[in-house]
Structure 1
């Protein structure tokens, strides 16, 4: 592990929290194996998990130092839940992935049914991946990317870092802080007890996130005892990730596109302490829930939002995922050159998603601390593209060697879980804060398992 890189991550992350106090000391790092990558992915994992844990320690005024197992932090960036006596879910749709175009490379993201349909509207239906590849090869990457986006799908051309820096969206992201922090109006002083064993006991967290980054944030909050209520739209399915990221949460189904659904959401928001959302930049505003309205409904609300491509610029409302951002901002192209490969080489894990999730959790915890001590609310905004910029500033020195992540061992495993899908086992926490258990109380569950109420 490169401690200098870890210290640089730590300083920038701490500044992003909006705290005027000096950065807290670095966590103690143990078992310091790291991923083999062009970028300091394991250092990012350890420091982002460390930041969220340190924010929890500050909230409860814990005198104990935070300890991070770097190997386990890296493993949590892969997956924390392993199925037993049954196959693990298939992570990618058969047609998702990287394709050679007429002038470069492009990544197609087709995991959601609607996104696959959008791709097929442009490229046609194919029974084999090889046939689709032949069709993609007839297109220029930029033109195909735009055609799929215009059809309502998700795609990203592989760009170099220099090309991204010259792109209007890349330039917009460069101007954004890691965490765009804003103090908002005060609300009533909360009556949280903040016990050290379960610091967020009694804190209501309304979760409007899906896929990885946002759910990672709310999973961490649930592991601290928060009452997390996740809202899914009707028909939404996320079978690949349900067991991984819904543990500790209650799940309800609600349509914000209906009058009744919006009224129900309004009632939920009135009793929420925290709102975590991952819709596109103007989606809540179009539904009648802009930032000002949210604060009026819940004075003092800790409001944390996520976007893929950044909150300013021409792509602020573009759909995006970790793998697409890696392609678009230069990470995959840099990895290709680093590995001397003829194909895009992304990070060994979806590190942008996971790191942003822990940064979001840290922002929530810092917001709760300020709410408890000063009464004010806050708004924090993060993006995968801005986290990517942070990582791109932390490449390994030339000639450095990474140890690699060791295989699973029994001492990594914390507990068995029985979910609606079967048995599995969860990794033990990568973070250690004496007196505070970082464990979700319930296994993952299906959408609609719980009613839309606190």
Structure 2
């Protein structure tokens, strides 16, 4: 399975990789643990290839399936001063029974909750939402919430999804779509004992998938600067969990000064990760061709929920919604979601792998490159892996946890999975308080 994944990403046979442990470390019929170990292995092997390009023998890449599965549960395992840092799910978020099935409402951001209230004509009360949904069919609820600027998905079967216009739009789409976005000369890797030492990564992402990608790149030595904004809402537990190894700055891209500051950062960046809704960042002037002109040789990694073609390409979406719409969460008696947010985490690890593969190409062939990924396409990959033949259960992960002091308090976190003997990955700093760093690169 891993060989096929690596060939999909690179066109080449993989170097030596050892994946150990049984898939029974997570419950459920889908091969989530296998997807976890494969996507962790892909990013780790990509890091090893960069190390070899520096003239350093990386050794054999190894992945423990239990550790990879723990990393896919990281937001559930993080603790601050011994306690969970909050609830990932807001009050109105969840699954609701409609007249003809089920619909999931994603209300973790205040403006999405407000859209649900407008669409259903209800106050911020879960019981009132349940009553309103129960009087309508699931598709009508979904479309009404989406039309009001919210995020929702009706539960469908796998067959319904594959036969839908959006499902068909994913047919033949690559798991990671690479393309050149501009010319640039070959740029050798700077001297460093770490795979991404001397590399600068701008992280303009939110929720899980994009932040996980940035977290992985930080663990392999990159200077990762997450750029958010004081006026934008966040999901606090996810901020605490996915910030490991990064710095955090605030810029208001609604202002000319904020956009100018971002352009200055881009002028010295090697990688730009972004998960704005398709067209939103470009609408602020940060189009792919302008990025490649401003920083020849830049690697642009873009993530979205539903895919880059088809009728839902600009629709708001999250892992849980993609599971509902694509049949992954289908159950005869109600939704049966995956045991972890596997589409988010796998997409994040694959995005990190894509960034490193593109950096290697830049160092050997030149060019400004773009890689695009989508949660729905990752879901198609997970579905293609088949189903588990043995029942699984969540196992003890205490051996994969560590603690450090942070601006939030004493932080417990999942350590970095994936071993590269020539330069073991790990984070040099804890998750930062949002906006605690200046919007500038480290020097020296």
Give TM-score scaled by structure 1 length.
Answer: 0.91
> d(CA) in 1 for partners of 2:373 and 2:359?
17
Deviations 1:210-254 (A, max 9, x none): 000000000000111111111113322331212100111111111
Aligned to 1:406: 395
**Mapped pair 1:115 → 2:112:** yes
Deviation at 1:258, TM superposition (A): 1.9
Q: CA deviation at 1:24?
A: 3.3
Partner residue of 1:437 out of 402, 421, 424: 424
| Kept after mapping to 1: 8 A contact 2:242/2:431 | yes
**Where in structure 2 are the equivalents of 1:223-302 lying within 5 Å?**
223-236=219-232, 237-302=234-299
Deviation at 1:188, TM superposition (A): 4.4
Identify the match of residue 64 of structure 2 among 69, 74, 78: 69
- 2:129 equivalent in structure 1: 132
Deviation at 1:131, TM superposition (A): 2.9
Choose the corresponding residue for 1:369, options 347, 360, 365. Answer: 360
Deviations 1:358-387, CA, capped at 9 Å, x for gaps: 000000011111111222221110000000
Indicate the residue corresponding to 1:151 in structure 2.
Answer: 148
Inter-partner Cα distance in structure 2 for 1:269 and 1:115: 30
Unaligned ranges ≥5, structure 1: 1-6
Asked if 1:165 is matched to 2:154, the reply is no
**Counterpart position of 1:420:** 407
CA distance in 2: counterparts of 1:257 and 1:12, whole angstroms: 43
Give the distance between the partners of 1:302 and 1:420, measured in 2 at CA.
Answer: 31
Q: Distance in 1 between matches of 2:235 and 2:436?
A: 14
- The alpha carbon displacement at 1:167 in A equals 1.1
Which residue does 1:356 correspond to in 2? 347
Q: In the aligned structure 2, how far is the partner of 1:278 from the partner of 1:16? A: 22
Residue aligned with 2:236, SS: coil
Tell me the distance in 1 between the aligned counterparts of 2:3 and 2:62: 17
Aligned length: 434
Equivalence for 1:3: none
Task: Check conservation: 1:93, 1:110, Cα contact below 8 A.
Answer: yes
Say whether the 8 Å CA contact 2:24–2:390 is kept in structure 1: no
Q: Structure 1 CA distance, aligned partners of 2:130 and 2:91?
A: 12
User: Relative to 1, partners in 2 of residues 1:87 and 1:286: Cα closer, same or farther, differing over 3 Å?
Assistant: closer
Cα distance in 2 between the residues matched to 1:364 and 1:279: 17
Give the whole-Å Cα distance in 1 for the aligned partners of 2:256 and 2:125. 43
1:387-402 map, 5 Å: 387-396=378-387, 400-402=389-391
Alpha carbons 2:6, 2:12 under 8 Å: kept: no
CA drift of 1:165 comes to: 1.1
Q: Secondary structure at the match of 1:60?
A: helix
Query: Is this contact kept in 2: 1:174–1:386, CA < 8 A?
Result: no
Q: Distance between the aligned counterparts of 1:322 and 1:380, measured in 2?
A: 20
Residues 31 and 69, structure 1, Cα contact 8 Å, conserved in 2: no
Quote how far apart the aligned CAs of 1:194 are. 5.0
C-alpha separation between the residues in 2 aligned to 1:226 and 1:420? 21
Q: Secondary structure at the match of 1:371?
A: helix
Q: Distance in 1 between matches of 2:439 and 2:34?
A: 39
Contact 2:44 2:61 in 1 (8 A): yes
Q: CA deviation at 1:208?
A: 0.8
State the secondary structure of the residue aligned to 1:174.
coil
Q: Distance in 1 between matches of 2:243 and 2:254?
A: 24
Deviates more, 1:295-304 or 1:130-139: 130-139
Say whether the 8 Å CA contact 2:219–2:416 is kept in structure 1.
no
Question: Structure 1, residues 105-126: CA drift from partner, whole Å, max 9, x if none?
Answer: 0000000011011111122344
Answering whether residue 15 of structure 2 is matched by residue 13 of structure 1, we say no
Equivalent in the alignment of 1:174:
171
- The residue that corresponds to 1:50 in the other structure is 41
Following superposition of structure 1 onto structure 2, how do residues 318-357 of structure 1 map, counting pairs within 5 Å?
318-333=315-330, 336-337=331-332, 342-357=333-348
Kept in 1: contact 2:204–2:226 (CA 8 A):
yes
User: What are the Cα deviations for residues 184-221 of structure 1, in whole angstroms up to 9, with x where unaligned?
Assistant: 4343443533534x221210101110000000000000
Contact 2:225/2:246, CA 8 A, preserved across alignment: yes
CA distance in 1, matches of 2:296, 2:124: 53
Counterpart check, 1:37 vs 2:60: no
> Would you say the 8 A contact 1:32–1:69 is kept in 2?
no
Cα distance 1:290–1:12, how it changes in 2: closer, same or farther (>3 A)?
Answer: farther
1:347 Cα deviation after fit: 0.3
Match of 2:436 in 1: 449
SS at match of 1:235: coil
In 2, distance between residues paired with 1:190 and 1:41?
A: 37
